[in-house]
Amino acid sequence: MQFKLGEFFCGPGGIALGAIDTGIISNNKGVKFSIKPSWASDYDLDTCQTFALNVHKDINSSDVIHHDVRKLDIDSLSDCDGFAFGFPCNDFSIVGESKGLKGEFGPLYSYGIKYLKTHQPMWFVAENVGGLSSSDNGTALNVILKSMKEVGYKVTPHLYKFEEYGVPQARHRIIIVGIRDDLSIKYRVPKQTHLKNFNSSRNCLTKPPIKEDADNHVLTKQSKRVAERLKWIKPGDNAWSEDIPEDLRLNVKGAKLSNIYKRLDPEKPSYTVTGSGGGGTHMYHWKENRALTNRERARLQTFPDDFLFIGSKESVRKQIGMAVPPMGMKVIFQALLMSFAGNDYESIESNIK
């Protein structure tokens, strides 16, 4: 059985790529279960072109809709077997003003709910930042879960720590899996595969080495002062290191953000790849005195080297930072397909009640 997948807020294709890579055989009937991306929508043109080129192999694919979700005619969209929406996290992130459901982006999840209510796919997957659970004094997530249940779905929310599933990055995201009420299918959170054997940033970025002429692999022209400062920062440390000479220290008052000029620790998963930020937020190599390239960030997000991102250097940085790691999504889709196939798999209790 092949499930057709539709998406809102599709980003460059992390969720779709995880879906494409997933496929299982039913133990009972020998039937293959898989997922095929059908259509997708996003408001950013570069992002849409990246998705179209890599997922549909056609940069001008009509299956990728460049449109603001608030202006989409949701009723006229095609029915799908599965639906995904990584609704914007800006107002739920612990970094920033955290306006929650009252912000500009907070209410956008409701357009996903409208699609679910109108088209009733068999299942859905929704994604957002871990800060969603504490947003609006802890009420935002409950409001969202209630709206999903009201349109006919049993839901399983869980805060996934993707480094525990082999992703070479400490990335913690709430994923909500919903299955339509009339289906006697139960999704369970898959058990972690890498609790004691994390995939390190060194392993990710060096095995195999990235080819010098790889796409999206342009080095940042580091200023002499920044390069000099980085010389004094040890792997895993940041701009507030006591080793940095006084004349090279940052003149910053107030909060000292931990990821400013922070080097990777080569023996651990990287810290979270982000899509925006000013000086000192580009992630830094553990040994070389420079920021990571977009291709290196894409590897930490588990995109393959032949995945070509469209747009300017900053546009690509944003796309990579906002994406969902395909490897992490593959684990979730695998468990979802196993549930539909009736296959057993190792699972854990949800950590969100």
pLDDT in tens, 208-229: 999 999 999 999 888 999 999 9
Q: Which residues of 96-217 form beta strands (DSSP E)?
A: 123-129, 153-161, 172-180, 189-190
C-alpha–C-alpha distance, residues 109 and 142, integer Å: 13
CATH of the domain at 177: 3.40.50.150
Domain that holds residue 192: 2-197+324-348
d(CA 300, CA 198) in angstroms, rounded, equals: 13
Cα–Cα–Cα angle for 39, 42, 48, rounded to 5 degrees: 75
Residue 301 lies in a domain: no
pLDDT band at 253 (very low <50, low <70, confident <90, very high): low
**Which of 307, 305, 269, 285 lies closest to 171 in space, CA to CA?**
269
* pLDDT (mean) for 38-61: 97
Residue 176 identity (one-letter amino acid):
I
206 domain-assigned: no
Whether 96 maps to a domain, the answer reads: yes
Give a yes or no: residue 299 inside a domain: no
Contacts of 172 (CB under 8 A, 6+ apart): 129, 130, 159, 160, 161, 162, 272
User: pLDDT over 70 for what percent of the chain?
Assistant: 92
pTM here? 0.93
Length of the chain: 353
Higher pLDDT, 95 or 240: 240
Taking CA atoms, 340 is separated from 115, 120, 188, 333, in Å, by 22, 17, 11, 11
Is 89 annotated in the active site? yes
The single residue listed with the structure tokens 């779709």 is 16
Domain count of the chain? 1
Assigned token pair, 266: 């080569």
Rounded mean pLDDT of 183-204?
97
Helices and strands, number each (H, E), in the chain: 9, 10
Q: Is 250 domain-assigned?
A: no
Tokens of 124: 């859905």
SS3 35: strand
Q: What is the pLDDT of residues 18-30, one digit of tens each?
A: 999 999 999 887 9
Binned at pLDDT 50, 70 and 90, residue 198 comes out as very high
Residue 12 is assigned to a structural domain of this protein: yes
Asked if residue 340 belongs to a domain, the reply is yes
Of 10, 48, 80, 89, the catalytic one is: 89
On whether residue 189 sits in a domain, the answer given is: yes
